[in-house]
Amino acid sequence: MKVVSIVGARPQLVKLAPIAAAFAKTDHKHVIVHTGQHYDVNLSDVFFSGLGIPDPDVHLGIGSGSHGVQTGNTLAALDPVLAAESPDWVLVYGDTNSTLAGALSAVKQHLPVAHLEAGLRSFNRRMPEEHNRVLTDHAADLLLAPTEEAMRHLAAEGLAGKSVLAGDVMVDVCLRMRDAVRAGQHPQPQLPPGIDPTQPYLLATLHRAENTDDPRLLAELIASLAALPLPVALLAHPRLVAKAGEQGLKLAQGSVHVGRPLGYAAMVAAVIGSVGVVTDSGGLQKEAYLLDRPCTTLRTETEWIETLEGDWNRLVARPSALSAQEWIDTATRPAPAAPRGLPYGDGRAAERVVQFLAGGLPGSSLA
């Protein structure tokens, strides 16, 4: 079997790591195509080196642009690559513009498409990711769902016949890295200047277009972080830096100390070292959950609803809607004592994904 993985943005590289490792244990041929949606060293290269992912076989060098430009350029550039590779499966990941472009290029060439992390829904059509995931799920031939909830969403959209529960591949990589960090196999992360890693701190990220692109909301969110009574390590995505720059907003205010995005091991170590996480990232909500840190999510909804159980994660779209004390009590609350199940799987999802792909199209004679 030959599988082409299409990736482009940071969270996809994290998911690619366990998939590439699972393929490496087999005789299947795995081709990696990097669209180049993310191109900064600390959004892309550090994930290949830090997670031991083989270098991409093809790099399209697409870069940034409006949604149409980025998606369209990726689509056009993928056509000849997929035609030349002619794989048994095209594997697309998550919900970015690279995901949608990959799925479209493949289906138009009658190449079977599998969607990893299928079935997630925010039901918020203001999010570009929501369009990307819904359209990709409906185009794809095999839907690899991470959770029971995702399976329910797919069934509700009439897609049960091509959906399988694979588990979440991010658990595979997160738990492996947690163990390596605990075993001292990685140096302490470079936290922003002013953060003492031996003292309590909160870890924060903010990059969603819904939060960064509205100047008033962004200023309000940064002011809320600035008002917290603990140092806040804000690991700033380039989008946040760019938008704050355009808006003349200073990110380093009050408790906020600004640093660069971290590689995966350093991020896991930074979460473990923190007393809690404040974020709008989907991946980080789940990493906080898996690493036993309470999370406050700066959004109106989450695709990872399992994290809300037992108060491990709390949604706060507008901290300013809370009193100053309620906001502080929320963002600095201790980790809950309640035990948790394994809603994201057992850390062996990537192997299962390879097995599902090797089984062929759902309903075909290969299955």
- Per CB under 6 A, residues contacting ligand UD1 are 9-11, 37-40, 43, 64, 70, 95-97, 128-129, 207, 237-239, 242
Residue 237 or residue 299: which is nearer to ligand UD1 going by CB? 237
Query: What is the closest distance, in whole angstroms, from the C-beta atom of residue 238 to ligand UD1 in the complex?
Result: 3
* Tokens of residue 83, six digits: 């035609």
Compute the residue count for the chain.
367
Residue 128 or residue 310: which is nearer to ligand UD1 going by CB? 128
User: Catalytic one among 38, 115, 207, 237?
Assistant: 207
| Sheet with 276-279, side-by-side order of all strands | 256-259, 232-235, 202-204, 276-279, 295-297, 313-315
Residue 121 or residue 237: which is nearer to ligand UD1 going by CB? 237
Query: What is the closest distance, in whole angstroms, from the C-beta atom of residue 45 to ligand UD1 in the complex?
Result: 10
Q: Known catalytic residue: 207?
A: yes
Rounded to whole angstroms, how far apart are CA atoms 149 and 153?
6
- 349 and 172 Cβ atoms separated by less than 8 Å: yes
Query: What is the closest distance, in whole angstroms, from the C-beta atom of residue 288 to ligand UD1 in the complex?
Result: 16
Q: Which are the catalytic amino acids?
A: 207
